[in-house]
């Protein structure tokens, strides 16, 4: 257990509404990641963070923004949700503090449905 929680775990919303998903970690790891998982696509990186207020785009960042004002929290925001953003969203943390080791551990996921 890497001490990762995600909230909410399930959400149904309507097209055009803003949505914020929260990832919380208890172990002060520097690197945090947001992925989405869709059938046929596997896990795709949306955004990542390498420290407080340090974030960057991943493979599928359009329509998403992120913020990290504290080490323990990484927020993913859909400014205006669309049906194509219906997905399962996973947060992950990298637990190694340096070197080439790169073990990422995942949270339990948030299932988002946009109607």
Residue 90 engages another protein in binding (rule: CB under 8 A) = yes
Q: What is the spatial distance between Cα 73 and Cα 51, in angstroms, rounded to a whole number?
A: 11
For 5-56, the DSSP string reads: EEE-SEEEE-TT--EEEEEEESS--SEEEEEEEETTTEEEEEEEEEETTEEE
Q: What is the spatial distance between Cα 25 and Cα 46, in angstroms, rounded to a whole number?
A: 18
Q: List binders of another protein among 49-68 (CB under 8 A).
A: 50, 56, 58-59
Residue 103 engages another protein in binding (rule: CB under 8 A) = yes
User: In angstroms, what is the minimal distance from the CB of 65 to another protein?
Assistant: 17
Residue 10 or 70 with smaller CB distance to another protein:
10
Q: List binders of another protein among 17-46 (CB under 8 A).
A: 31, 33, 40-45
List interacting residues with another protein (CB under 8 A).
Answer: 31, 33, 40-45, 48, 50, 56, 58-59, 90, 94, 100-109
């Amino acid at each position: 257990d890497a001490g990762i929680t995600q909230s909410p775990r399930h959400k149904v919303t309507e097209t055009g509404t803003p949505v914020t998903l929260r990832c919380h970690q208890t172990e002060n790891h520097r690197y945090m990641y947001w992925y989405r998982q869709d059938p046929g696509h596997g896990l795709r990186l949306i955004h990542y963070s390498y420290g407080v207020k340090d974030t960057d785009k991943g493979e599928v960042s359009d329509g998403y923004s992120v913020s990290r004002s504290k080490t323990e929290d990484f927020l993913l925001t859909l400014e205006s949700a669309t049906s194509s953003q219906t997905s399962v969203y996973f947060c992950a943390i990298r637990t190694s503090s340096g070197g080439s080791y790169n073990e990422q551990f995942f949270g339990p996921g948030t299932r988002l449905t946009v109607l």
